[in-house]
Structure 1
Amino acid sequence: MNSARYDGHNGRHERVDFLTNKEKVSSKRKFVILIAVIVAFLVLAAVAALLVWLFVFKDADSEATLSKQLGPSAQVFSGHMKLVGVPYNVKLEDTNSKEFEDLAVNLEAILKENYKKDPLLEKYHTKSVISAFSEGVIAYYWSEFDIPVEDLEVVPEFSEERVLESLENGLEEQGSMRSDSDIKISEVTASFTDSRMARNPRAKECFYRLEAEETAKRFSSPGYPEGYAPKSRCQWQIRAAEDKAIFVSFPSFHIEDDCADDFVSIFDSLSPDDSQAITEKCGQRPPANPLAVASSGNIMLINFITDSNVQRPGFEAEYTAIPRSRVKTCGGVLSQNQGVFTSPLHPSFYPPAVHCKWTIKVPAGKKVRVKFTMFRMKEPGVDPRVCHKDYVELMGTKYCGEMSSLDLTSSNNVLDVSFHSDESYTDKGFSATYSAYDPENPCPNKFACASGMCIGSALHCDGWNDCGDMSDEMECKCDKDQYSCDNGMCKPNLWVCDRVNDCGDGSDEKSCSCGDNEWRCGNGLCMPQVVLCDKKMDCEDGSDEASCETSPGICSDYSFKCENTDCVNKVNAECDRINDCSDNSDEAKCDCGTRPYKLNRIVGGQNAETGEWPWQVSLHFQTYGHVCGASVISAKWLLSASHCFVTNSPENHVPSNWQSYSGMQDQYKQGDVQRRAVKRIISHPAYNQMTFDYDVALLELSEPLEFTNTIQPICLPSSSHIFPAGMSCWVTGWGAQREGAAKAQLLQKAMVKIINDTVCNLVTEGQLTSRMLCSGFLAGGVDACQGDSGGPLVCFEESGKWFQAGIVSWGEGCARRNKPGVYSRVTKLIDWIKTETGI
């Protein structure tokens, strides 16, 4: 249970300002003694007045000031009571009926009487309200305790335990739990509740009673879709037949993205009891990831709370009654050699209070491999290392939270998989595949990771952690072109002494040319350690002062340049939500690199979801359809590659031959896509068709884009921004999915890694310039391909922003071994981009 806490009116801490007073007394040299005496008298009078104020009036003034700053606190507790000897009457479901009114009044009086047993509760209890009845007979209630400003110190004394103890004491004294109607209560619960969800159904203000049937019905938030008003307090009670459960989905859901202000909360109850909460959501959800929940029984409560002044459309919901067996029946015996199983109702939220068990049996002599393609069972206040509420259990270990990968292998031919959800908070659940395999050959023609996952044989001992648990890089026999790390891993020889800890234990950087007391500059030159952060640029590239808080004003290639010409020596200072520049210019143009839609994490998925890459653009040439990609960098400008336009055919450089499509996912569907003609094409004047150097182009649109859920600009990095080797980034496009294949219909995504420049230059046989970077996998298998040209390579930063690191430029074939994709390096081209566009 949660203990009571004082969070003010809206779940946020109140601000308290304490007054301070300073008196300054100065004296001047006086020429006349009389004046000096008068001044001394005045000083004494002032001191006396100050002392009087301090000891007599200060406390009163402070209390008055604090009274203005603080407000009274409303402590609300809700729950249910199970009644004995009261026959259920369907009229009790109607909050306007006499039957509801009579029974509710009696129970409210009983609650009031029981609070009198605790002097604190009796003193501050202001009202108790019966909000609903259901079969059983179960009564749902909430009680409010109002604490005035002068008594706020007692707030911590209010707790669920205290309220529940008071009510349970009444249960033990059956006489005190009776009314004139001889009502008995056999069970009672109490849970701390947000006061904004305490609704009186008899007040009829934004309160709705709905009856779910097999035919779907709809309801929406007030003002939808134009927008909801602030300070909304709405509630929907949904019921179904006794043998049914309730399923609610939200085809449209767009709430302010701060759940402290605006949110929708859903309960497996008719009371806003946190112990019966199904979920609480805010933000915006795409059609590909709708919110959909189910109750465990035939009742559900939905609350809609708004406090922000930011207007959003709100939501539209569809509700229906489903057989209760659909939410209670799961598990079974799986005896095929391979198959799929999921949490109940997946991909919708699984229902509360469900327990399932699957027994997977494969032929004797084989083992069971289980791979979770999606796994999300997050719950407030749950440590994923403990998993004491909702979990999946395999081989004695419980798993919960959100996982990007989970592959498990049984020790024999039988594997039990258990799924458990408690009575509160549910989630998307899981989807898993299972298969039988021969333990003598677990991954035919592939490498078997310790987790049971199979990866390509070429990925074994290539220096990358492809298995996720490093098992593919341990106990390797290094090739002649590899360095043997102290921990047994193999890394390319070219990674030694590159100032990157590639081995993980530092052994590849331990025996470099610089001594223990020396600093190695970015260009490889060794300097005494004392030059580091000495406020002087000793290294030619300024790397010795690049990340020194003690070196303000030192400008180097690694420094972020503020608009007022100041330099900030901090790695990736722009858009990190910290004002580093005195003119705040590092945070001035950061309305970019965000994805409005909340998206699923699909393990191994290649088809992009709607709104997942809102800066991606498809460029169509004449009647040929999709030819190149581009990225949105502002409402009127797109970023692409010069080689899409500077060709042997002059027609490619004619703007009217091109159309841009923003917000597109499927090449054959243009529902919410914004088509814009190209007004102007600006190719970099130094672009070289032979070497692909300076392969960058800008496209000015004929009319501005309207930014939406599926159309957003990508953040452009400053020239000092660093995308380190080994960083995971994403390349997207409609290009061919393999060498020589046709272009894709659906937008594709691929995770690639930034490759060390030295290694990149070697594998490209010296063709790399400073305007290029490599990304992909040296072992091959993942890469951009024909049709992806001009598209973005984007990386996610800790600040929560996506930045464009590269532009798809060239490569030898697609996804070949030791032939990674080559991209135009945006950090080296950013000054030209800003000059041409004014962004």
Structure 2
Amino acid sequence: MDYMDSGLRYTPKSDKDWDNTIQFLPASDNKKLEKKKGPGTVGAVIGVVIFLAVIALMTGLLVWHFHFRKDVKLKRMYSGSMRITNQAFVDAYESSNSSEFKALATQVTSQLKSIYSKSPQLAKYYVGSTVQAFSEGSVIGYYLSEFQVPKGQEASVDSAMSSMDKLVDKEKRIRSRPSNSLVLEDVRSSALDTRLISTPFSRVLRFSEHTKPNKIGQIQSPGFPNSPYAPNTFIEWQLRADPGNVIKLDFDTMNLEEDCSNDFIKIYDSLVAIESSAMEEMCGYYSPSQPLTFLSSRNVMLVTMASNEEKNYPGFRAKISQVQRGSKDITCGGKLTGATGTFTSPNFPSYYPPQITCQWSIEVSPGYAVKVTFKKFLLSEPGMEDSRDCKKDYVQVNGKKLCGEKPDGTVTETSQTNTMSVEFFSDASYVDRGFSATYEAIDVKDPCPSQFQCENQRCIKTALQCDGWNDCGDMSDELKCTCKPQDISCKNGLCKPMFWKCDGVDDCGDLTDELNCGGCTSGQFTCKNNKCVSEKLQCDGTDNCGDGSDELNCGRGTNDAETVCSDLTYRCKNDKCISKVNPECDGEPDCTDGSDEENCDCGRSLFKTSRIVGGENTEEGEFPWQVSLHVKGSGHVCGASIISPKWLVTAAHCVQDDGRTRYSQPGTWEAYLGLHIQGNIGKTVVKRNLKQIIPHVNYNAYTYDNDIALMELDSPVTYSDYIRPICLPAPQHDFPAGSNVWITGWGATREGGFAAKVLQKADVRIINHTVCNTLMKGQITSRMLCAGVLTGGVDACQGDSGGPLSSPAGSRMFLAGVVSWGDGCARRDKPGIYTTVTKFRGWVKEKTGV
């Protein structure tokens, strides 16, 4: 069905489809046309006729091909709205079946035809219009218009449609207009989303809901939650509220296919799909803990949903209600006084409404200045992520416009006087989360007492200056520095932590930290064993390095019988080896027996990662393999990782007895799976006791070598959105220095207690083994790896012992390491040490079968 197949419309005769009417003549029977012996008049005439017929046929085909075939017409759909100022809204206009609706719709379609006739580009291609709905104010009409446009003329039609307001003015000036003509204002038009017309949906469903005061309604995808939504279907929900109210749409479930080009939900601040009124587009799976609440600018809203023919998911459910204008959710601005205070965009941390303007006037005591710090700043729209002119949504502080997405706390503005004006503006299309801000009165002469003032007016601790970290956000704390002896002194004047040396990443910006790393000269390849060979010898079928590293990633494919098995090559189940690095669970079967893609239901968070979660807090379900290990009666002590329904991986030092507690005994522990906030044991959390604990037999309590242990649960768990395993890497899996990994935990220490209630995360980077061993004075064995924090402050996430070091690979994460010793989340200048899981892959399989 077509998106236009409803409502009142004018339907012309369809054009001929030239491609389907081509017919070719059958081949001639050469024997029948064979020349008879001797000349014959009849035969000659027949030959001439056939010759001329062939010439005519060829000419006709050529004329058709070069003339008519060029005249390919494309269907173009435009949606729009108009305000009819000489009409008053009546309740009957809500129903498209009422006589009042049909009468006004006829007038609208007639007047649209008249308007389009004033444009040569539109008049000759116009097909017809459909009125979709009416709403209050005086009366607003929502319509769809169809055009059949010759290929190559689309831009001219788009341009003409973008000037609809001028055409309306032109139509108004006609003296012969009927006296009962509609008076139109605020005419808007935009091309319909091509996904709505490129696919002929097999089902088109439409629903209408009018909210009631103090009542919460509900909309959901058909069949939810008992069955997936239907394939190849388009659905729309027209939502209305009483005059003087706006629509509030609050999703409690959102679970669609990940790719928005296949299945999607789109919300409009309108009753028809006008792209200039689109508020948000969504697909994928969102955590229920993530706020997905939208407010309209007026008393109408449209929710659309489209699906393709395959991979259909559970769908969505949302609550709908009406909010009276002037209520707390949609009011903003005002006068702020006092030494400190806070303010936010409307509806924060959910989406602010479109078409809203807020004005705050901040005033502090005379002799002081106003300093505003944006703790959260999310004002980004599709296609405008890098925009600097802020033509769409923005915050304006004392005349300076700010927009886009900024790191937490890095946007700071200071006034010259004791007053400041802050304005927030959102246009008609696409909304975001908005901002939260604090203000304070500061001494103009000493704005950062006992601290360093950044060029962007941010204040940081003096100790953070010249430490290699961009604490200011604008690098001003790292300029004009004298480096400490233990730091890397970059040639450009920057100072960087020594553990970033030789990790394959240009931290200095001038490669200073990557010089003198024992690498090979230009034209040579550096082997894994640091041997240098000519680049010409790479992938020549010969092990020139001696460890096979010059024959990795040679692209010889799954049927390569030449790959020699080594410690660096991936071994398939059939004992054949492939040269591809890290082939397991990458979505491409590389082994001839497909074994590299077996057991790949792991390492994925099913939820979309939210941007709104602050600091280093994780989103609920973001790391579903994280386990909290509690000593019974004492609370959280260590972390662990799920690797199967019955088995966990943790650190051996977590299960060593001391004088007070028998940590080595299963009865001492209880494991909490799916936990996000300590002490908050909700329905998504599963508690299990332990059946057995297996520490590595060679664990060394003095050096922390072989610091790994296995725990078997007393009964298997059922996987859910919040409980899933992490992928175990193959013994040959490569985690190169410089690659980003995640460390997670609640910040517990072995002695008990916890530093954070909410599961924390930190983005860290794997550090070169040789450099780390130098930093740690020779304490690093071949079974350990090091990682350091890339971002965050001094107190960035102290992870749990036994917790995971999660390495992203595509859409999955692999267990690169187990938190062992040092600072779990690797404080500045002090890398964290982790047990290298690849070294124990055989041991894990031997003990668990995983």
Shorter-chain TM-score range: 0.7 to 0.9
Asked if 2 retains the 8 angstrom alpha-carbon contact of 1:543 and 1:556, the reply is: no
| Structure 2 counterparts to residues 22-421 of structure 1, below 5 A | 74-112=75-113, 127-145=128-146, 153=151, 156=154, 159-163=157-161, 169=167, 172-174=170-172, 182-194=181-193, 205-227=205-227, 228-326=229-327, 329-363=331-365, 366-386=368-388, 387-394=390-397, 397-405=400-408, 406-410=410-414, 412-413=416-417, 414-421=419-426
In the TM superposition, what is the alpha-carbon distance from 1:79 to its structure 2 partner? 0.9
Give the Cα–Cα distance (whole angstroms) in 2 for the partners of residues 519 and 389 of structure 1: 51
Sort the Cα spacing of 1:186 and 1:475 in 2 relative to 1 into closer, same or farther, 3 A. closer
Q: CA offsets, 1:341-378, max 9 Å, x none?
A: 21112112111112223344445665544332222222
Summarize deviations over 1:128-153 as a string: whole Å, max 9, x none: 22222222333433335375xxx974
- Report 1:707-746 matches (<5 A): 707-725=719-737, 727-736=739-748, 741-742=753-754, 744-746=756-758
CA–CA separation in structure 1 for the residues paired with 2:825 and 2:105: 72
Partner of 2:698, secondary structure, is: coil
SS in 1 for 2:209: strand
1:3 is aligned to none
Of 832, 841, 849, 1:830 maps to 841
Counterparts of 1:1-16 in structure 2, within 5 Å, are: none
CA distance in structure 1 between the aligned counterparts of 2:630 and 2:61, rounded to whole angstroms:
74
The one-letter code sitting in structure 1 at the alignment partner of 2:236 is: Q
Q: CA deviation at 1:694?
A: 1.6
In 2, are the aligned partners of 1:780 and 1:818 still within 8 Å (CA)? no
**1:115/1:480 CA distance change after superposition, 3 Å:** closer
The yes-or-no answer on 1:476 pairing with 2:481 is yes
Alpha-carbon separation, structure 2, partners of 1:130 and 1:837:
65
Q: 2:436 aligns with which of 431, 444, 453?
A: 431
Unaligned 5+ runs, structure 1: 1-15, 17-51
8 Å CA contact retained: 1:729, 1:752: yes
Deviation for aligned residue 1:627? 3.4
Matches for 1:419-458 after TM superposition, within 5 Å: 419-438=424-443, 442-458=447-463
| Cα displacement (A) at 1:701 | 3.9
Q: Secondary structure at the match of 1:106?
A: helix
182-191 vs 128-137, greater mean Cα deviation: 182-191
Residue 773 of structure 1 corresponds to which residue in structure 2?
A: 785
- 1:383–1:298 CA distance, 2 compared to 1 (3 A): same
Q: CA deviation at 1:486?
A: 0.9
Alignment map for 1:334-733 (pairs within 5 Å):
334-363=336-365, 366-386=368-388, 387-394=390-397, 397-405=400-408, 406-410=410-414, 412-413=416-417, 414-438=419-443, 442-491=447-496, 501-511=506-516, 516=521, 521=526, 527=532, 533=538, 535=540, 536-541=542-547, 553=563, 559-561=569-571, 574-575=584-585, 590-602=600-612, 605-647=615-657, 652-655=663-666, 658-666=669-677, 667-725=679-737, 727-733=739-745
> Are the counterparts in 2 of residues 375 and 404 from structure 1 also a CA contact under 8 Å?
yes
CA contact (8 A) 1:177 1:185 kept: no
C-alpha contact 1:212 1:239 (8 A) present in aligned 2: no
Paired residue type of 1:761: N
| C-alpha separation in 1, matches of 2:566 and 2:448 | 51
Greater Cα shift, 588-597 or 481-490: 588-597
Contact 1:735/1:743 (CA < 8 Å) preserved in 2? yes
C-alpha spacing 1:572/1:399, structure 2 compared with 1 (3 Å):
farther
CA shift, 1:541, in A, is: 4.8
In the aligned structure 2, how far is the partner of 1:106 from the partner of 1:813? Answer: 71
For the 8 Å contact 2:801–2:820, the answer to whether it is kept is: yes
Question: Structure 2 length as normaliser, TM-score?
Answer: 0.79
Moved more, 173-182 or 339-348: 173-182
For 1:739 and 1:461, the matched residues in 2 are separated by 34
**Structure 2 CA distance, aligned partners of 1:246 and 1:790?**
48
**Partner in structure 2 of residue 821 of structure 1:** 832
- TM-score scaled by length of structure 1: 0.79
- Please state how far the C-alpha of 1:292 moved relative to its aligned partner: 0.7
The C-alpha deviation readout for 1:309-347, integer Å capped at 9, x for no partner, is 334332222222223234764233433332222111211
How many Å apart are 1:640 and its aligned residue? 1.7
Are 2:502 and 2:768, in contact at CA under 8 Å, matched by a contact in 1?
Answer: no
Count how many residue pairs are aligned between Structure 1 and Structure 2.
Answer: 774
Q: 1:452 to 1:187 in 2, by over 3 A?
A: closer
Answer with 777-786 or 699-708: which moved more: 777-786
Aligned residue for 2:619, secondary structure, equals coil
Deviates more, 1:522-531 or 1:496-505: 522-531
Cα 1:365/1:541, change in 2 over 3 Å: farther
Kept in 1, the 8 Å contact 2:674–2:685? The answer is yes
CA contact (8 A) 1:178 1:184 kept: no
Question: What is the CA deviation profile of residues 55-88 of structure 1, one whole-angstrom value per residue up to 9, with x for unaligned ones?
Answer: 969989x99xxx9xxx996532111223243233
Q: Which moved more, 1:755-764 or 1:576-585?
A: 576-585
**Whole-Å separation in 2 of the counterparts to 1:681 and 1:448:** 52
List alignment gaps of at least 5 residues for structure 2.
1-18, 20-53, 198-202
The equivalent residue for 2:9 is: none
Contact 1:170 1:176 in 2 (8 A): no
SS of residue in 1 equivalent to 2:106: helix
- 1:193 to partner: Cα distance: 1.5
Q: 1:426, CA displacement in angstroms?
A: 0.7
